[in-house]
């Protein structure tokens, strides 16, 4: 399946999941740091 034919909605969903997982990891690390202080 050529990348040019991927629907825009699929790309949006992929990016959204990436960002959500990334920010979730950051908030998880912040909580850990607060507990360690």
pLDDT, averaged in runs of 10, over the chain (37 residues): 78 94 85 72
pTM above 0.85, yes or no: no
Look at residue 2 in the predicted model and tell me its pLDDT. Answer: 59
pLDDT for 5 equals: 84
Residue 9 φ then ψ, to 5° = -60, -40
Note the pLDDT of residue 19. 94
pLDDT at 3: 63
Instruction: Categorise residue 31: left if φ over 0, alpha if ψ from -120 to 50, beta otherwise.
Output: alpha
Per-residue pLDDT, 10: 94
């Amino acid at each position: 399946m050529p990348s040019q034919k991927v629907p825009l909605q699929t790309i949006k969903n992929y990016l959204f999941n990436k960002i959500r997982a990334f920010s979730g990891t950051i908030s998880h690390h912040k909580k850990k740091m607060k507990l360690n202080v």
